Amino acid sequence: MSKSSRNLTKQKSVEYKLKPNDIVFTPSKVAKLMIDLCDIKSNDKVLDPSKGGGVFFDNLPECNKSYCEITEDIDFFDAQGKYDLIIGNPPYSLWTKWLKQTVKLNPNKICYIFGLLNLTPTRLGILHEAGYIITKFHICKVAWWFSPSFIVLFEKGNKEDTNITYTRKPFGCEICGQNNHICKRGRTVGGRKYGLNECSKLKS
């Protein structure tokens, strides 16, 4: 990466409040696996929303492809148009905002790789409410990444056609009825460790 690119990356990182772990390049074997899951046709319009080193864009089969890349001042949040597929590895700290922009573009398919902690009920809800269902789900592990990853292909479809369900609201403590931010069950707060079966609301 050139000095000018590094400076632009730093500038945009401040603008978008990116974190260091947001700029993580996907291994080529993983990118190719994701591409193979998508059944891309030659006339498909495909968007790589965060090109980075080009691992997705450069490995796409013959198709009508384009990309966004903030270091080239091509902002995904300014993207417009209709796409058959949006595929890539979004910045981790922008997941929710990124998914909202993705569904706003209304592609026929979305293929993203999620970290273990990134595929949350709230984020599934964003996609589900926009009319997307999970049609392919692949679990893998990149040796130097923090956790296992989920490669997920979402497609426009009927909600009744998927067996994957979720509960958006967290289950609260069955003793006091509160969630763990209030109950503190299973957490250490102020030097006091509460057991997983210990309701802090009853310990005052």
Q: What is the pLDDT at residue 89?
A: 96
Q: What is the pLDDT at residue 85?
A: 98
pTM of the model: 0.83
Q: Are residues 116 and 178 in the same domain?
A: no
Q: Which residue has the tokens 């289950």?
A: 171
Q: What is the mean pLDDT, run by run of 10 residues, along the chain of 204 residues?
A: 42 55 86 98 98 96 96 95 97 94 98 95 95 96 93 90 85 80 80 85 62
Q: Are residues 150 and 174 in the same domain?
A: no
Q: Are residues 22 and 97 in the same domain?
A: yes
Q: Are residues 35 and 127 in the same domain?
A: yes
Q: Are residues 107 and 202 in the same domain?
A: no
Looking at residue 52, its amino acid is: G
Q: Are residues 142 and 174 in the same domain?
A: no
CA distances from 183 to 169, 186, 188, 192 (A): 16, 9, 11, 13
CATH (domain of 99): 3.40.50.150
Q: Are residues 87 and 184 in the same domain?
A: no
Q: Are residues 156 and 196 in the same domain?
A: no
CA distances from 121 to 18, 34, 64, 108, 117 (A): 23, 22, 33, 21, 11
Q: What is the pLDDT at residue 182?
A: 74
Range of the domain at 196: 170-204
Q: What is the pLDDT at residue 10?
A: 44
Q: Are residues 115 and 61 in the same domain?
A: yes
Structure tokens at 21: 């772990």
Q: Residue 100's closest CA among 122, 133, 68, 70?
A: 122
Question: Domain count of the chain?
Answer: 2
Q: What is the pLDDT at residue 203?
A: 55
Q: Are residues 145 and 179 in the same domain?
A: no
Q: Are residues 191 and 155 in the same domain?
A: no
Q: Are residues 100 and 157 in the same domain?
A: yes
